Structure 1
Amino acid sequence: MNPSATSHHPTVDVHAHVLIPALQQAVAENDPEGFAALQALEVRRNGPESMANSGLMIKERWPQLTDLNRRLADMDSQGVDVQLVSPSPSHFYYFAAEELSLTLARQANEAVRDYVNNAPERLNGLGLAPLQHPHLMVEALDHAVLECGLLGVEIGSFAGTPGDPERTTVELSDPRLEPFWSRAEELGAIMFLHPFGCSLDERLDRFYLANTVSQPAENAVALSHVIFSGVLDRHPELKILAAHGGGYLPTTIGRSDHAWKVRPEAQRCAEPPSSYLRKIFFDSLVHNPRELRSLVEASGPGQVLLGSDYPFDMGSERPVDDVHAAGLPEAEAAAILAGNATRLGIAAAATLNTRATAQGA
Structure 2
Amino acid sequence: MSQPASGTSSDRVVAIDVHAHVIPPCVPAPDSPWGWQGNPVTRHADGQLEITTNVGRMPIGWTEESEDVDLRLRHMDKAGVDMQVISLMPTLWMYGVDGHDSEAAARQSNDDLIRVAEEHPSRFRVFAHLPLDRPEAAIAELERVMSHDLVVGAAVGTNVAGKNWDEPELQPVLDTADRLGALLFFHPMAVRFQPHMRRYHLRNLIGNPAETTLAIADLVFGGALDRLPGLRMVFAHGGGYACFAAGRFDHGHRVRTEAREHIQILPSEALTRLYFDNLLHSDHATRFLVDTVGSSRVVLGTDYPADMGPTDPVYPLLNSPVFDETEKRAILGENLLGLLGLDRADVGAVARTAESGG
In structure 2, the partner of 1:23 is: 27
Whole-Å Cα distance in 1 between the matches of residues 224 and 99 of structure 2?
Answer: 25
Whole-Å Cα distance in 1 between the matches of residues 106 and 54 of structure 2?
Answer: 20
| Amino-acid identity (%) | 31
Change (3 A) 1:272 1:76: same
The TM-score, its normalising length taken from structure 2, stands at: 0.84
In structure 2, the partner of 1:37 is: 54
Change (3 A) 1:179 1:97: farther
The C-alpha deviation readout for 1:4-53, integer Å capped at 9, x for no partner, is 89716632111111112533664457246x9523445x6xxxxxxxx7xx
Between Structure 1 and Structure 2, how many residues are aligned? 328
Question: What aligned pairs does 1:199-238 form with structure 2 within 5 A after superposition?
Answer: 199-238=192-231
**2:200 aligns to what SS in structure 1?**
coil
In structure 2, the partner of 1:12 is: 16
In structure 2, the partner of 1:331 is: 326
**Corresponding letter in the other structure for 1:269:** I
Deviation at 1:201, TM superposition (A): 2.1
Change (3 A) 1:265 1:323: same
Whole-Å Cα distance in 1 between the matches of residues 149 and 10 of structure 2?
Answer: 29
Question: What aligned pairs does 1:161-200 form with structure 2 within 5 A after superposition?
Answer: 168=162, 170-200=163-193
Change (3 A) 1:29 1:150: closer
Whole-Å Cα distance in 2 between the matches of residues 350 and 124 of structure 1?
Answer: 14
Which sections of structure 1, spanning at least 5 residues, go unmatched? 43-50, 161-167, 353-361
Whole-Å Cα distance in 1 between the matches of residues 285 and 82 of structure 2?
Answer: 25
Q: Is the 8 A contact 2:21 2:89 kept in 1?
A: yes
Whole-Å Cα distance in 2 between the matches of residues 6 and 217 of structure 1?
Answer: 40
The C-alpha deviation readout for 1:202-222, integer Å capped at 9, x for no partner, is 211110011111110000000
In structure 2, the partner of 1:259 is: 252
**1:327 aligns to what SS in structure 2?**
coil
- Mapped pair 1:317 → 2:311: yes
Q: Is the 8 A contact 2:37 2:102 kept in 1?
A: no
Whole-Å Cα distance in 2 between the matches of residues 246 and 174 of structure 1?
Answer: 20
Question: What aligned pairs does 1:82-231 form with structure 2 within 5 A after superposition?
Answer: 82-96=83-97, 100-147=101-148, 149-160=150-161, 168=162, 170-231=163-224
Q: Is the 8 A contact 2:54 2:97 kept in 1?
A: no
Q: Is the 8 A contact 1:116 1:123 kept in 2?
A: yes
The C-alpha deviation readout for 1:207-245, integer Å capped at 9, x for no partner, is 001111111000000011000000011111111010111
Deviation at 1:313, TM superposition (A): 0.3
Change (3 A) 1:294 1:259: same
Change (3 A) 1:132 1:311: same
Q: Is the 8 A contact 2:14 2:329 kept in 1?
A: no
Change (3 A) 1:11 1:31: closer
**Corresponding letter in the other structure for 2:38:** N
Deviation at 1:96, TM superposition (A): 4.7
Change (3 A) 1:98 1:131: farther
Deviation at 1:98, TM superposition (A): 9.4
- Mapped pair 1:291 → 2:285: yes
Change (3 A) 1:315 1:179: same
**2:85 aligns to what SS in structure 1?**
strand
Greater mean alpha carbon deviation, residues 8-17 or residues 96-105: 96-105
**2:96 aligns to what SS in structure 1?**
coil
Change (3 A) 1:29 1:141: closer
**Corresponding letter in the other structure for 2:312:** R
Deviation at 1:99, TM superposition (A): 6.0
**1:319 aligns to what SS in structure 2?**
coil
In structure 1, the partner of 2:339 is: 344
Greater mean alpha carbon deviation, residues 99-108 or residues 184-193: 99-108
Structure (1 or 2) with the greater helix fraction: 1
Whole-Å Cα distance in 1 between the matches of residues 345 and 137 of structure 2?
Answer: 29
Deviation at 1:281, TM superposition (A): 0.6
Change (3 A) 1:350 1:3: closer
**Corresponding letter in the other structure for 2:269:** S
1:247 is matched with which residue: 240, 253, 258?
240
In structure 1, the partner of 2:69 is: 68
**2:133 aligns to what SS in structure 1?**
coil
The TM-score, its normalising length taken from structure 1, stands at: 0.84
Change (3 A) 1:75 1:12: same
Q: Is the 8 A contact 1:127 1:150 kept in 2?
A: yes
Deviation at 1:146, TM superposition (A): 1.5
**1:251 aligns to what SS in structure 2?**
coil
Deviation at 1:285, TM superposition (A): 0.5
Which sections of structure 2, spanning at least 5 residues, go unmatched? 41-50, 348-358
Change (3 A) 1:138 1:226: same
Whole-Å Cα distance in 2 between the matches of residues 281 and 29 of structure 1?
Answer: 31
**Corresponding letter in the other structure for 1:292:** T
Whole-Å Cα distance in 2 between the matches of residues 31 and 173 of structure 1?
Answer: 30
Whole-Å Cα distance in 2 between the matches of residues 148 and 108 of structure 1?
Answer: 17
Change (3 A) 1:83 1:2: farther
Whole-Å Cα distance in 1 between the matches of residues 215 and 306 of structure 2?
Answer: 22
